Structure 1
Amino acid sequence: MAGLLALAALAGPALAVQPSERLSDPALEARARSLSTEIRCMVCQNQSIDDSDAQLAKDLRVLVRERLSAGDSDAAVRDFLVARYGEFVLLKPRFQGHTLVLWLAAPVLLAIGAFASFAAWRRRNRAGADNRLTSEEEAALARVLSEDDMRRS
């Protein structure tokens, strides 16, 4: 039963591309499928057009196949879609000047968090070392505890 559920979950995205959309040339179809996994569905936004059943995703899949059939390269198809819909249409934005913050923000924030955690850990360890009792304080504590034990007995 679990195997059937897993198979059904995996088969879902494959059903988005309709047989009528597929190209007869297997090489072009493979390129189209590869490109379709890189392009964001503007309706679903967290899915590629290859995975989405939205009408706009279908239109974009057909457009990708038309451009490839017309002889466009993969880069030309991506550039066409970016010119038409903006950089957001790419699931993985390009590494360019205006996307630099997008690409570098996560690693920089991770490094800052790691440094802050390390600094807090060191501060806590140093504070623990400074809070040890002196020999006079340990002797006084032992006296107080022994007096407390005598009172209880």
Structure 2
Amino acid sequence: MRNILLAILAGLAVILAALPASAVAPDEILDDPALEQRARELSANLRCMVCQNQSIDDSDAPLAKDLRVLVRERLVAGDTNAEVIDYLVARYGEFVLLKPRFSWNTFLLWAVAPLALLLGGAALLIAARRRTRTLATARTMALSDKEQADLDRILADESAR
């Protein structure tokens, strides 16, 4: 029983260690809990321009810290979440968003994967139907008299051996 409990605790420790740690420093945290919660939600969806695969909330890079401070400054100034996002996109481009917005500029990005899946499925379906038709045609075709005679001769030679 004790070994099972130790194994469970060790598993939990591994899981907790694998979770990303927040890089927000205590001096960045806002006094207003509602504004801080909004800042955290925004920061979780903004890309660190240095790390590129982390949010600014998880990154220790100096630029990420600057962006976290900027987000909090904009919120304290009274900006809405959308205004903060628009400000950062205007300043850094759509790349600053971890999840790009759907727009005509990003239509290709959103459409390529489902389109490729549909085209691949259609190609597989067409190939399977062609193969089925070819096999069915080959089975139903009768041999000519000469072909049948040649086949009978070959089979007779084989059985004689």
TM-score, scaled relative to structure 2: 0.80
Question: Quick one: which of 6, 11, 25 aligns to 2:15?
Answer: 6
CA distance in 1, matches of 2:116, 2:24: 38
Give the 3 Å change call, closer, same or farther, for CA 62–146 of structure 1 in structure 2: farther
**Aligned pair 1:32/2:39, yes or no?**
yes
CA distance in 2, matches of 1:37, 1:146: 79
Bigger Cα Rg:
2
Aligned-partner residue type, residue 68 of structure 2:
R
Structure 1 residue 112: deviation in Å? Answer: 1.5
Partner of 2:59: 52
Give the 3 Å change call, closer, same or farther, for CA 52–141 of structure 1 in structure 2: farther
**Aligned pair 1:148/2:158, yes or no?**
yes
**Aligned pair 1:23/2:30, yes or no?**
yes
Q: Deviations over 1:11-62 (max 9, x none)?
A: xx23322222222222111111111111111111111111212111111111
CA distance in 2, matches of 1:38, 1:145: 73
Q: Is the 8 A contact 2:22 2:57 kept in 1?
A: no
CA distance in 2, matches of 1:20, 1:102: 39
Unaligned runs of 5+ in 2: 1-9
- Over aligned residues, Cα RMSD in angstroms? 2.3
CA distance in 1, matches of 2:148, 2:29: 82
The alignment of Structure 1 onto Structure 2 pairs a total of residues equal to 149
**Aligned pair 1:124/2:124, yes or no?**
no
